[in-house]
């Protein structure tokens, strides 16, 4: 179904409406373009719009200034990307794209407004870009017991707003836009800021003590950041430092990863490093509202041997030279030593190039 053009309007009355079909297997699509508006209104009921359920695939597209999707109900409202109404089926998907100042509003009377991405049985992804916005009371990203996943990407210039944003098992919050509200990670929910890499802004608190933060680091100036206004709780959080693009930090390189009003639990967070050899040393501190990573050693590529092994190789060459000294002329000794050292430095050059 496509609704397009300034002034175009559809009102869907009463309770739930689903895009895939009611038999739970076919696929469906709802497009709201060029200033058009769709309203799902549950009078004295919970207003509910579902995109994708069961084995079907659902797609929701909003594009253009004035394009608007409103889900409201006197007893609560919900927009579901992925529906659990058929507990014995799954394998479908739900995808939503909102761009160019399109607006999604999930509101309520006395109940709760919910925007849900992903369920126990349906994978779902939601993308907000170029000024698009979402307003709701509660945002769920992959809350369920199944093996499916949910992804909410808020690109630069876009925003989502809710009192609470909860990211659960196999759920991912990513992008370089703005999240307005308190963010909580549960059951291993993840945040990967930016757009490989970039900065995610959170206007609120971050409770990451049951989740994972992934920071991609590509250079001294190009790396992921979280900029937030509230409290960052990192008690028992898993924080992965992912070095990419063959970037090797050097001693005293500094990276400002999280800007926060305050921070707790830094000494109880679990840090891991990917993309470098395991002997990389670093320190993490929080001072003046900034969580900073400082390199205490030079980073090496995973396949590069430590310097100590190269020195050992030089020593071995010299030892071998001493063993054969009585059997070799002086000129041959010089050529032999030169050959062994050239071989060692060629290996070092290969490792550097591979890094």
Q: Can you give the pLDDT at residue 311?
A: 57
Q: Can you give the pLDDT at residue 150?
A: 87
Among 9-23, 48-62, 93-107, 129-143, the minimum mean pLDDT is found in: 9-23
Domain boundary among 295, 320, 335: 295
Grade residue 21 by pLDDT with cuts at 50, 70 and 90. very low
The count of structural domains within the chain is 2
* % of the chain exceeding 90 in pLDDT: 42
Q: Can you give the pLDDT at residue 322?
A: 56
Q: Please state, in angstroms and rounded to a whole number, the distance separating the CA atoms of residues 63 and 131.
A: 10
Q: Can you give the pLDDT at residue 129?
A: 93
The winner for highest mean pLDDT among 91-100, 102-111, 148-157 is 148-157
128-159: pLDDT as tens digits: 998 999 998 888 887 544 555 789 999 999 99
Same domain for 219 and 346, yes or no, is no
Same domain for 323 and 244, yes or no, is no
- Mean pLDDT across the stretch 236-259? 96
| Contact in structure between 212 and 241 (CB atoms under 8 Å) | no
Would you say residue 57 lies in a domain?
yes
Grade residue 87 by pLDDT with cuts at 50, 70 and 90. very low
3-state secondary structure at position 336: helix
Q: Could you tell me the sign of the dihedral formed by the alpha carbons of 157, 161, 164, 169, in that order? A: negative
List, in sequence order, every residue forming a beta bridge with 124; answer none if it has no partner. 94, 150
Same domain for 140 and 180, yes or no, is yes
| Contact in structure between 215 and 190 (CB atoms under 8 Å) | no
pLDDT tops 50 at residue 353: no
Q: Can you give the pLDDT at residue 81?
A: 77
pLDDT tops 60 at residue 44: no
Q: Please state, in angstroms and rounded to a whole number, the distance separating the CA atoms of residues 113 and 47.
A: 9
Same domain for 284 and 322, yes or no, is no
Same domain for 278 and 340, yes or no, is no
Q: Which domain holds residue 332?
A: 307-354
The model's pTM is 0.80
Same domain for 212 and 78, yes or no, is yes
Would you say residue 318 lies in a domain?
yes
Domain boundary among 295, 320, 343: 295
pLDDT tops 90 at residue 263: yes
Would you say residue 301 lies in a domain?
no
Same domain for 210 and 136, yes or no, is yes
Q: Can you give the pLDDT at residue 203?
A: 98
pLDDT tops 60 at residue 350: no
pLDDT tops 70 at residue 241: yes
Q: Can you give the pLDDT at residue 351?
A: 43
Chain centroid offset of residue 10 CA = 35
* % of the chain exceeding 70 in pLDDT: 68
| Residue that has been written with the tokens 């100036």 in this structure | 221
Q: Can you give the pLDDT at residue 5?
A: 67
Helical ranges in 271-329 per DSSP H = 307-323
CA-to-CA separations, 108 to 32, 84, 163, 181, in angstroms, rounded? 22, 21, 14, 18
Q: Can you give the pLDDT at residue 199?
A: 97
Bigger pLDDT: 315 or 49?
A: 49
């Amino acid at each position: 179904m496509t609704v397009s053009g300034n002034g175009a309007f559809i009102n869907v009355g009463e309770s739930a409406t689903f895009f895939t079909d009611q038999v739970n297997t076919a696929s469906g699509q709802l497009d709201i373009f060029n200033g058009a508006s769709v309203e799902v209104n549950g009078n004295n009921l919970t207003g509910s719009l579902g995109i994708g359920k069961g084995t079907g695939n659902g797609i929701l597209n909003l594009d253009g200034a004035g394009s608007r999707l409103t889900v409201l109900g006197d007893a609560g409202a919900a927009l579901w990307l992925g529906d659990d109404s058929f507990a014995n089926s799954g394998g479908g998907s739900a995808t939503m794209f909102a761009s160019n100042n399109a607006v999604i509003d999930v509101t309520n009377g006395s109940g709760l407004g919910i925007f849900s991405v992903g369920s126990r049985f349906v994978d779902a992804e939601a993308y907000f870009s170029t000024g698009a916005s979402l307003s709701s009371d509660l945002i769920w990203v992959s809350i369920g017991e199944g093996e499916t996943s949910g992804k909410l990407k808020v690109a630069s210039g876009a925003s989502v707003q809710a009192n609470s944003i909860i990211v659960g098992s196999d759920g991912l919050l990513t992008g370089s836009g703005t999240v307005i509200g308190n963010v909580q990670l549960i059951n291993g929910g993840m945040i990967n800021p930016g757009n490989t890499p970039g900065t995610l802004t959170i206007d609120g608190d971050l409770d990451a003590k049951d989740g994972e933060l992934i920071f991609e680091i590509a250079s001294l100036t190009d790396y992921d950041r979280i900029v937030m206004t509230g409290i960052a709780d990192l008690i028992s959080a898993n924080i992965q430092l992912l070095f990419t693009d063959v970037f090797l930090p050097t001693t005293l390189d500094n990276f400002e990863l999280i800007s926060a009003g305050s921070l707790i639990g830094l000494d109880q967070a679990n840090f891991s490093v990917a993309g470098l050899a395991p002997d990389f040393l670093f320190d993490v501190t929080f001072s003046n509202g900034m969580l900073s990573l400082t390199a205490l050693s030079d980073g090496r590529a995973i396949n590069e041997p430590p310097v100590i092994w190269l020195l050992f190789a030089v020593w071995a060459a010299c030892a071998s030279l001493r063993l054969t000294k009585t059997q070799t002329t002086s000129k041959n000794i010089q050529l032999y030593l030169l050959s062994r050292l050239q071989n060692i430095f060629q290996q070092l050059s290969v490792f550097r190039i591979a890094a």
